[in-house]
Amino acid sequence: MPGYGEYLRLPALLDLQGARARDELLFVVVHQAFELWFKQLLAELEEARDLMLRGESRAPRERLTRVVAVQRMLLGQFDVLDTLAPQDFARFRGALGTGNGGQSAQFREITLLSGAVDDGRFDRPWHTPAERTRLRRRYTEPTLWDGYLAVLSKAGFAVTTEEERFAAYARIAAARDELWDLSEALVAHDQAWAAWQGRHLLTVQRQIGRRRGTGGTTGAAHLSGRPQERFYPELWELRARL
């Protein structure tokens, strides 16, 4: 029987940070932790999508509840990063070269799977061939939104046109049943992801202010200039129509 360390492959995992000074070690550990949790988010979101495509509503809501719990937990990672003084970050910032968090393939996979609008360009030089393959697959496969509409369709709602969908949302909101709970779980995921992005922006501003980003971007200005699009705009618009 494997021991705890062998089961978790701790020697290999703890070797991935390399020989880092204390402050740089903090930066690397936090961002590697982000990527590990992104991997879990993708697993949960993919299963939620697949369950919805089969017309299920309760089980995908449970998956989304876990997704939101993870996303909220990740906000605390920025509190840890904020203990890193900008002077100390500046000492090792050059080691990042042209790298920045916006190059995370898993981050983009999450947005694609969730249903974000995307330009469909996957030829960026920082992605590996395997990452490009994954991103192209995510771009063409059904999204969580496709899954949600499949659930509504199986429940007997017409969802072809916007008018039909808002009529369905109104009936679901009035019933406040399991379909409403699923709708709210999608909105909670959307909201938690937006909160994560907003918290990321604040940490970048705290670390580098108005300086240019490591990837050649304008840094915080680049992040704040991104369109604040929601994954499920119709579910947000529903609030104004209730």
The domain that contains 199 carries what CATH number? 1.20.58.480
* Location of structure tokens 């300086």: 211
Q: What is the C-alpha to C-alpha distance for residues 68 and 48, in angstroms, rounded to an integer?
A: 13
Residue closest to 124 by CA, chosen among 140, 110, 141, 108: 108
* C-beta separation of 242 from 236 below 8 A: no
Structural domains of the chain, count: 1
What does each of the 242 residues of the chain score in pLDDT, given as a tens digit? 889 999 999 999 999 999 999 999 999 999 999 999 999 999 999 999 999 999 999 999 999 999 999 999 999 999 999 999 999 999 999 998 888 888 999 999 999 999 999 998 998 899 999 999 999 999 999 999 999 999 999 999 999 999 999 999 999 999 999 999 999 999 999 999 999 999 999 999 999 887 554 555 444 444 454 556 899 999 999 999 99
**Could you give the CA distance from residue 53 to residue 46 in angstroms, rounded to a whole number?**
11
Predicted confidence at residue 98, as pLDDT, reads: 81
Tell me the residue range of the domain where 64 lies.
4-241
3-class SS of residue 233 = helix
- What's the confidence (pLDDT) of residue 212? 52
The structure tokens listed for 102 are 């916006």
- Beta carbons within 10 angstroms of residue 100's beta carbon: 18
Position 214 scores a pLDDT of 53
The whole model's pTM is what?
0.91
The tokens for 49 are 């999508």
| 3 state DSSP class of 2 | coil
